Copies of this chain bind each other. A is one copy, B any other.
Amino acid sequence: MLVNNMRVITGIKDMRSVSKEARMSGKTVGLVPTMGFLHEGHLSLIRAAAGECGFVAVSVFVNPTQFGEGEDLESYPRDLERDTGLAEEAGADVVFAPGVEEMYPDGAGTVVHAPPGLTGVLCGRSRPGHFTGVATVVLKLFNIVAPDRAYFGRKDAQQCAVVKRMVRDLDVPVEIKVMPVVREKDGLAMSSRNTYLSPEGRSTARAVHKALRKAEEMVCSGILSADEVKAGMYKILNKAEGLEVEYIEIVDPETMEARSDAGANALIAVAARVGGTRLIDNILVSSEQWMVSDRRRGVGNDE
């Protein structure tokens, strides 16, 4: 099927053979797994893949098993036609957009569990089962596309940790590339869910990035106590009317274990709700001199 001149594959067998053909012709295969409704964050992943791989597949699949009860599975934004155009522009070779029945025939029941220490904290606390859904569908996509490299955005830092851990623990032959958070001009991390925000909500949501900027300032000025940094962030977020903090955590980015300091290589992560919309964002303290790796000066996507 062609949409916008982009080849869209819906069958697992077809995807396998197209990917195999690319591999057989000597091309490196890159995969960018997405739930569609592509934004600049996704496109940065596709561009990175296109720069490194001879063949790039972008999967577009709103995976039901990673949504909990009462979450936004039904309302999650979908627009395959728009996605194919954007994916093509960014350098994708095919879009893999299977239906739910293709991915989960007879409600397929085998699942992949990353260690509870990794999945039971941060987002996992309010979204039980979410990371099992993520790990399972990502492994399926890896088995179908057999990519040499797969690209994920660090906005979903816990997801990245789960996927990297799964790949290591299960010896999956794929290299995981974690790419920087891409933000709107005012600092809001790009997310398909941002479309849910009302104009007021959109304005309120800026506080999330402001709090992370505050953390950055504190760390750069030498304040490394996790408690102090969190307190500084809470001060900003608590002032934002209509915003409810779900968590502020300072953790190891590989293990998701809480740290008592915000020094080198600490992940400072926030989840908050604005109206009905759940927003997450994070910054990673650099391993050198406590510089924050994705500091941002409000001038667009300059990472």
Bound-state CA distance A25–B115 (Å) is 38
A140 at interface, CB cutoff 8 A = yes
Let me know if A2 is at the binding interface, CB within 8 A: no
What number of copies of this chain does the assembly contain? 2
Whether B109 contacts A170 by the Cβ 8 Å rule is: no
- Select A168's contact among B108, B146, B171, beta carbons within 8 Å: B108
**Nearest chain-B residue to A143 (Cβ)?**
B171
C-alpha spacing A69/B165, complex, angstroms? 26
How many chain A residues touch B (Cβ–Cβ < 8 Å)? Answer: 27
Q: Is the CB of A110 within 8 A of B109?
A: no
CA A117 to CA B173, docked complex, whole Å? 30
Report chain B residues within 8 Å CB of A112. Answer: 110-113, 170
- For the complex, is A169 an interface residue (Cβ under 8 Å from B)? yes
Among B139, B143, B169, the residue within 8 A (CB) of A173 is: B143
What are 24 pairs between A and B in contact, CB < 8 Å?
A: A108-B168, A108-B169, A109-B114, A109-B115, A109-B118, A109-B165, A109-B169, A110-B112, A110-B114, A110-B115, A110-B135, A110-B166, A110-B168, A110-B169, A110-B170, A111-B112, A112-B112, A139-B170, A140-B171, A143-B170, A143-B171, A143-B172, A143-B173, A144-B171
